[in-house]
Chain A
Amino acid sequence: MRTGPERLLRGGGTSARLLDSAGIDKPSRASRARALELAATAGAFVATTAGAPVAVKAASGSLYKTVAAWVCIGAIGGGVVAFGVAALLGPSERPGDRAAPVLLEPETPRAVPAPAPVVAAPAITPEVASPLAPIREAVARKDFQTALALLDKLSTQSLSEGERLEATQLRARVAPAVKTKP
């Protein structure tokens, strides 16, 4: 590192006169005594001031807790509202789905409210994956023989209780129609 330019104080001129005047500026003895007294008891002062950041930390900690609590409340409230909306919309859609199997296409999730996909999902997936779907379609086409044949092929063990009940109902509807046909 270079030593630097010659100091103005030694250069003469206006700047030197001004800078030289700074020499009369000296701290008072009282000021020095106060500083030394403070240094001698600084431990106590530092202990006092060290408490301040702790208080600030506690305050910021409680702020985080408040924010977290409100976020939790919001999430829970949102979930409850979404569940309520899904419960309201769900039953009104189901009969339509059954009456018109075309609506069971994969795009049916569009009717599901976005915030609660988990709630809406059970209303759709059994319909789509149901082994009774082709039978329902055959019944809708009034192709009772095909429907009966499908019902005969159907393994009742793989069906749920509700599906088994529905299969029984379908058979009860289809079988007489097939018998009455010439």
Chain B
Amino acid sequence: MLERSLNLGHPAPVTTLSMERVDEARLTRIVGQHFEVLWRFLRRLGIPEGDIDDAIQEVILVLARKLEHVQPASERSFVLSTAFRVASGFRRSTRLRREVDDAGLAELASPELDPEAFAERQRLRAVLQSVLDALPMELRAVFVLYELEELTMAEIAHTLQLPPGTVASRLRRARETFEQMAAVAIRRDESMTYEGGQR
């Protein structure tokens, strides 16, 4: 690594660090451009909302360190692959707390939906998250990127550094598992809602 002066916003270099200068303008642009997909992907990979800022911070720091090696055409892939590794690390660590985390729900209220419809979608969203949480990580990543983020299979292969055949087989298995679990989860949820209404 080159020895370069790092100007941290001061008129003259204030310190010499053994690192390459971070292109902060580019970094800010990438984060702004891919923030939503990054946030959603981390959330779907099981990071609780309370921890998601920490996970995003880890992704940004990795991105900052390797920014010079990230090709402009691969920025989204790099962000998502880093997010996948960070989320895997979160799952291994004790930081992952299996808790109902509705801290951000106040900001989710959609003006187009009436309160009842919004409550229904919110309930389904919780069911969706529980079904996704039950999927193995490697299947879930492929499933989320294909079904929710609508990446192509080639993009997923590039992002997760997998052979195309592996992406296809994982997607097939993930879809089968998801559909089975979704049917069960919806039935259970509806019966619980019905019982709750009866009481």
B150 touching A39, Cβ below 8 Å: no
B residues within 8 A CB of A35?
31, 35, 53, 56-57, 60
B residues within 8 A CB of A36?
28, 31-32, 35
Q: Is B19 an interface residue (CB 8 A)?
A: yes
Smallest CB-CB separation from A51: which chain B residue? Answer: B17
Size bracket, chain B contacts? 35 or more
B60 touching A24, Cβ below 8 Å: no
A residues within 8 A CB of B140?
none
Q: Is B76 an interface residue (CB 8 A)?
A: no
A residues within 8 A CB of B182?
14-15, 18
B150 touching A42, Cβ below 8 Å: no
Indicate with 1 or 0, residue by residue over B12-37, a CB within 8 angstroms of chain A CB atoms: 00010111011010011011100110
B residues within 8 A CB of A92?
none
Q: Is B168 an interface residue (CB 8 A)?
A: yes
Smallest CB-CB separation from A3: which chain B residue? Answer: B152
Interface of A is mostly: helix
Q: Which of A1, A2, A24, A47 contacts B19 (CB 8 A)?
A: A47
A residues within 8 A CB of B57?
35, 38
CB distance from B25 to the nearest CB of A (A): 9
A18 touching B131, Cβ below 8 Å: yes
Assuming the contacts A7-B146, A35-B31, A39-B24, asked whether A24 and B17 have C-beta atoms less than 8 A apart, the reply is no
B53 touching A14, Cβ below 8 Å: no
CB distance from B175 to the nearest CB of A (A): 7
B residues within 8 A CB of A31?
39, 52-53, 56, 104
A5 touching B31, Cβ below 8 Å: no
Could you tell me how many residues of chain A have their Cβ less than 8 Å away from some Cβ of chain B?
A: 41
A18 touching B128, Cβ below 8 Å: yes
Given A14-B183, A26-B107, 7 new contacts (CB under 8 A): A8-B175, A17-B186, A25-B125, A38-B56, A39-B28, A46-B64, A47-B15
Enumerate chain A interface residues (CB-CB to B < 8 A): 1-5, 7-9, 14-15, 17-29, 31-32, 34-36, 38-47, 49-50, 54
Enumerate chain B interface residues (CB-CB to A < 8 A): 6, 8, 15, 17-19, 21-22, 24, 27-28, 30-32, 35-36, 39-40, 43-44, 52-53, 56-57, 60-61, 63-65, 104, 107-108, 110, 113, 118, 121-122, 124-125, 127-128, 131, 146-148, 150, 152-154, 157, 164, 168, 171-172, 175, 178-179, 182-183, 185-186
